[in-house]
Amino acid sequence: MDVEIEPSTLSGRARAPSSKSYTHRAILAAGYSGGALVYDPLVSADTKATMRAVDALGGTVELRSTSSRTQSDEDVTRESDHLDVDGFDGRPEVPGDVLDCGNSGTTMRLVTAAAALADGLTVLTGDGSLRSRPHGPLLEAVEELDGRAESTRDNGQAPLVVGGPVSGGSVSMPGDVSSQFVSALLMAGAVTDEGIEIELETELKSAPYVDITLELLDEFGVEAGKENLSGEGDGENGKSGENAEAEAGSGGGTYYVEGGQFYEPEDGEYHVPGDFSSISYLLGAGAVAADEDAAVRVGGAYPSAQGDSKIVGVLGRMGADVDWNRDDGVITVERSSLSGVEVDVGDTPDLLPTIAALGAVADGETRIVNCEHVRYKETDRVSAMAEELAKLGAETEETEDTLTVVGDESDLTGGEVDGRGDHRIVMALSVAALAADGPTTIAGGEHVDVSFPDFFEMLYELGATVNR
């Protein structure tokens, strides 16, 4: 689907969708339990893949609707979805068929560890993009735990064959490929007999995503934690001391979860928070296109372990007039004159497309560093943003580990760009399109269904001219 966005001015209130990262983990955590209700989930192409996986492993997931009160200054009743999950109680079954994870790398990584608990073999695959993404360190970890884990093409990529049952133990793996490997083992380790300890050989990239896992495990009654290699830091419920954080961030660290635990959320329910990756596009749109006499206000922005909440600080550093009322969960952003900054995305890879789009509008040079791992997402997001922004008139430069957007030499004129089949590329290019001099046509607009199905409707409601 092609989407045309014209230069626009925005104002009004939007509400961020629920977090994709938390939704994935909550669905699987409910699957590990005897049963739970997951409120305010993000129902998208990716999270549906995790729902199918829980069904395939012996649970059931049913989508229902309920009335609830919004936690905002309007405080109105609204209809929202919740998931009624009948779990497999820590003992997944062998699926009756190949498990198709679609385009969801999170599903494949988390479910690979779950499948290693089953007494038999599970085959996992996905679409062409997912079959090109690396899983080698996770497969090696499962084998260290005496499970079976193979890539059918012997290249660390799907299709995968995974079997068990593993009973726990200690593993060592690199931390600079994907934090999802750590999250997967922690979630599975809680229901093993021995628990699992993960020693990281290198710096952990995207560490806040493991913090999300630890936070969610705590909500489901599971104790897990992290500590540095020298054993300093308390590690309780994922909260280590400052020394432990520094050590883990600079050279590894250890994550652990005790075995023999049960997934039991309080009152049998869990509420998914808003998604800061998605919020970043709305805030970016407000910063470059809000009406001069109005503002864009984004609700559902409550504090959590999400590293992508750093977008608020990044916008502030760039000169945006942005205010976050954490108690009400509302962020207000006004149209602002932006200036380029340097941003390290080692822990926040999903922010790279948004920051790159902002850099194309800002004065000066925006330099995004520590981003090599961002090349191994749904697409190579570093090259994708460099090449597609260039089509709109931006001046960009890239190295293996950096992306630089030179705003002073950029003149966004609009044009035709390709979303590369990647939801984040599509939405980031939409932000840039709002500030261009002419209309922009983005190919592959349907891919926003992965994480933000109502994205274009929300832009339209804020005042954007959107044609599909």
User: Do 126 and 262 share a domain, yes or no?
Assistant: yes
Looking up residue 449, the CATH number of its domain turns out to be 3.65.10.10
pLDDT band at 68 (very low <50, low <70, confident <90, very high): very low
230 shares its domain with 303: no
132 is in an annotated binding site: no
Q: Does the pLDDT of residue 200 top 60, yes or no?
A: yes
Which residue range(s) make up the domain with 142?
Answer: 20-271
Asked if the model's pLDDT at residue 90 lies above 70, the reply is: yes
Domain termination site, one of 222, 239, 271: 271
Same domain, 254 and 346: no
Closest CA to 104 of 38, 35, 27: 27
- Cα 427 to Cα 279: distance, rounded to the nearest angstrom: 11
**Boundary of a domain, candidates 271, 287, 311:** 271
Check whether 180 is labelled as a binding-site residue: yes
Q: Is 206 annotated as a binding residue?
A: yes
- Same structural domain for residues 340 and 403? yes
User: Is the domain of 60 the same as that of 143?
Assistant: yes
What is the number of structural domains in the chain? 2
What tens digit of pLDDT does each residue of 372-412 get? 999 989 899 999 999 999 999 999 999 999 999 999 989 99
pLDDT in tens, 21-49: 999 999 999 999 999 999 999 998 999 99
Helices 136-144 and 180-189: angle between axes, nearest 10 degrees: 30
Show Cβ contacts of residue 20 under 8 Å, excluding neighbours closer than 6 positions.
42, 44, 46, 47, 106, 275, 277, 278, 450, 451
Amino acid at 306: Q
Q: Are residues 123 and 199 in the same domain?
A: yes
Mean pLDDT of the chain: 91
Please identify, among 240, 271, 302, the residue that sits at the C-terminal boundary of a domain: 271
Q: Which two tokens stand for residue 147?
A: 């499970």
Asked if 416 and 299 sit in the same domain, the reply is yes
Q: Are residues 98 and 181 in the same domain?
A: yes
Q: Is 91 annotated as a binding residue?
A: no
Return the active site residues. 350
The answer to whether 450 touches 45, Cβ cutoff 8 Å, is yes
Highest mean pLDDT of the ranges 37-46, 72-81, 178-187, 235-244:
178-187
Which whole number is the average pLDDT over 69-92? 68
Entry pTM: 0.82
